[in-house]
Amino acid sequence: MQPKVLVLFAHPLYEKSLINKSLCRVYKNVENITFHDLYEVYPEFDIDIKHEKELLRSHDIIIWHHPFYWYSCPPLLKQWIDMVLEFKWAYGPGGHALQGKFVMQTISAGGSQIAYSQEGGNKYPIRQYLRPFQQTANLCKMTYLPPFVVYDSNRADSEKIKNIVSHYHEVIDWLTGENFKDISAEYELMTDFITEKTQGTDEY
């Protein structure tokens, strides 16, 4: 059975982001994907918690798709996490509503991959900054998949964007396909998985 994927997209300046416009086009016409633009639906930050819970219940994989703002996510997505993932529903006593589901982050970062290293200005790999999101998934008994990260997003030329989009198509095909399985323990980033898959075997 093919998994159902819910994309929770949160970008307050979407109209100015060429890379995210390109990535979002990947979702179009994919049968098992629900695209949910939080800033379009909740411009006043008035989140319909009941509706969001229903969406979560009816999907197997959740994608938090957002730009990397100050080592975290835009405020509306943070508010969504704070309000929707309630105690005794998503975690805590009796909080099993999300158990067994999967979470993946799709992130656009303005800095280079070298910037997110011990030698770079940000000092740590980007996965270190994503620990709170990973622990949120763990607390809710969900599996945190390796994130799909686009570095240098503001400086990507047309050829780089084409290559990134091609890789993302492969990720989405894998997530929505019948061969989907947990690879969380094997790869640091989703791009590592796609690169290995492209260069090597298709057994994934």
Domains of the chain, by residue range, sit at 5-199
28 or 195, greater pLDDT: 28
How many whole angstroms separate alpha carbon 59 and alpha carbon 73?
22
**What is the token pair recorded at 28?**
């179009």
How many whole angstroms separate alpha carbon 156 and alpha carbon 13?
17
**What is the token pair recorded at 2?**
């093919």
The domain 5-199 belongs to what CATH superfamily? Flavodoxin domain (3.40.50.360)
- pLDDT winner (highest mean) among 69-73, 115-119, 150-154, 155-159: 69-73
* pLDDT over 90 percentage in the chain: 74
Mean pLDDT value across residues 95-112? 95
Please report the pLDDT score of residue 184 as a whole number.
Answer: 66
20-63 per-position pLDDT tens digit:
999 999 999 898 999 999 999 999 999 999 999 999 999 999 99
Kindly report which listed range (6-10, 71-75, 158-162, 191-195) carries the lowest average pLDDT score.
191-195
Q: What is the DSSP letter of 27?
A: G
Secondary structure of residue 99 in the 3-state scheme: coil
106-116 per-position pLDDT tens digit:
999 999 889 99
